[in-house]
């Protein structure tokens, strides 16, 4: 988000556990519920996390959703199928056990993927992530290619009329028309999230739209990780602190 509403690097307080009482809780996945790994497939979701989220969802009368840049199909493969899901940066929505609400994969995404594959070929550490309706170009394993990866992705976004989604050592191309903020807005109009106070926890720039809408709807954002310009009102320093915070919500302490 390039937004004048972003505050300079702030010294944010930790979130009080009482915010979880009555919350409609929106949780980012990578970097928030699981630590960043070298590759997209290197992330592991442990049973303790799933059990913790299940208990918290029950305590919140169902008002817990995962809002991720991953596709819904991938989130389900990770074991999150029992939760309300918004995938591909808000383009996909899915209730547990229900069909995924999503646009079709565009031919332009296939064209972008082919261009990414050509770029990645012969560059160890550069990785193309094929996703359901989008595609990612990762350079965590070869940061020296980051600038050229960004130039390529920006050029393709212009030419193919796709949205450019920067991430952590990653450029993604996807259809426009939604973001994590629009997903929060859409889910807040529906059961079971409607009636709660939105609380969005995330680490990446793509989570800023979620923080913004949570704040606009009377709630707040919680930034995970290194301080930066943000619309979040609170911060937690790492994934372990997020889990500890969520566990306090289950216990009902404040």
Ligand X SMILES: O=P(O)(O)OC[C@H]1O[C@H](O[C@H]2O[C@H](CO)[C@@H](O)[C@H](O)[C@H]2O)[C@H](O)[C@@H](O)[C@@H]1O
| Contacts with ligand X, residue ranges (CB under 6 A) | 28-31, 36-40, 43, 68-70, 129, 131, 136, 138, 140, 167-170, 172, 204, 206
Q: Measured from the CB of residue 209, what is the shortest distance to ligand X in angstroms?
A: 11
Q: Measured from the CB of residue 39, what is the shortest distance to ligand X in angstroms?
A: 5
DSSP of the chain = ---TTSPSS--PPPPPGGGGTTEEEEE--BTTTB---SSGGG----HHHHHHHHHHHHHTTT-EEEE-SS-HHHHIIIIITTSEEEEGGGTEEE-TTS--B-PPPPHHHHHHHHHHHHHHTT-TT-EEEE-SS-EEEE-TT-GGGHHHHHHHHHHHHHHHT-EEEEETTEEEEE-SS--HHHHHHHHHTSTTTTTSEEEEEE-SGGGHHHHHHHHHTT-EEEEESS--S-S-SEEESSHHHHHHHHHHHHHT--
Q: Measured from the CB of residue 150, what is the shortest distance to ligand X in angstroms?
A: 13
Between 17 and 167, name the residue whose CB sits nearer to ligand X.
167
Does residue 28 have an active-site annotation? yes
Between 17 and 241, name the residue whose CB sits nearer to ligand X.
241
Q: Which residue's CB atom is positioned nearest to ligand X? A: 69
Q: Which of 3, 11, 28, 41 is catalytic?
A: 28
Q: Measured from the CB of residue 216, what is the shortest distance to ligand X in angstroms?
A: 20
Residue 138's nearest CA partner among 36, 33, 224, 27 is 36
Between 26 and 245, name the residue whose CB sits nearer to ligand X.
26
Between 11 and 39, name the residue whose CB sits nearer to ligand X.
39
- The CA–CA distances, whole Å, from 109 to 37, 69, 172 equal 25, 15, 10
Q: Measured from the CB of residue 105, what is the shortest distance to ligand X in angstroms?
A: 15
Between 62 and 141, name the residue whose CB sits nearer to ligand X.
141
Active site residues: 28
């Amino acid at each position: 988000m390039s937004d004048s509403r972003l505050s300079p690097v702030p010294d944010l307080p930790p979130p009080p556990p009482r915010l979880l009482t009555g919350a409609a809780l929106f949780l980012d996945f990578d970097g928030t519920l699981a630590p960043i790994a070298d590759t997209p497939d290197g992330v592991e979701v442990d049973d303790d996390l799933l059990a913790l989220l299940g208990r918290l969802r029950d305590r919140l009368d169902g008002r817990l959703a995962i809002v991720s840049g991953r596709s819904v199909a991938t989130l389900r493969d990770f074991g999150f199928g029992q939760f309300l899901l918004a995938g591909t940066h808000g383009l996909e929505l899915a209730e547990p056990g229900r069909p995924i609400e999503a646009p079709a994969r565009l031919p332009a995404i296939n064209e972008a993927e082919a261009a990414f594959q050509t770029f990645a070929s012969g560059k160890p550490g550069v990785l193309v992530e094929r996703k359901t309706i989008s595609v990612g170009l990762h350079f965590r394993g070869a940061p020296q290619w980051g600038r050229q990866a960004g130039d390529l992705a920006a050029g393709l976004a212009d030419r193919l009329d796709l949205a450019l989604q920067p991430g952590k050592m990653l450029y993604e191309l996807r259809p426009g028309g939604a973001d994590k903020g629009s997903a929060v807005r859409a889910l807040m109009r529906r059961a079971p999230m409607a009636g709660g106070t939105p609380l969005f926890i995330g680490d990446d720039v793509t989570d800023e739209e979620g923080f913004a809408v949570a704040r606009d709807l009377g709630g707040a954002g919680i930034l995970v990780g290194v301080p930066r310009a943000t619309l979040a009102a609170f911060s937690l320093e790492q994934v372990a602190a997020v889990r500890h915070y969520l566990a306090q919500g289950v216990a009902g302490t404040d």
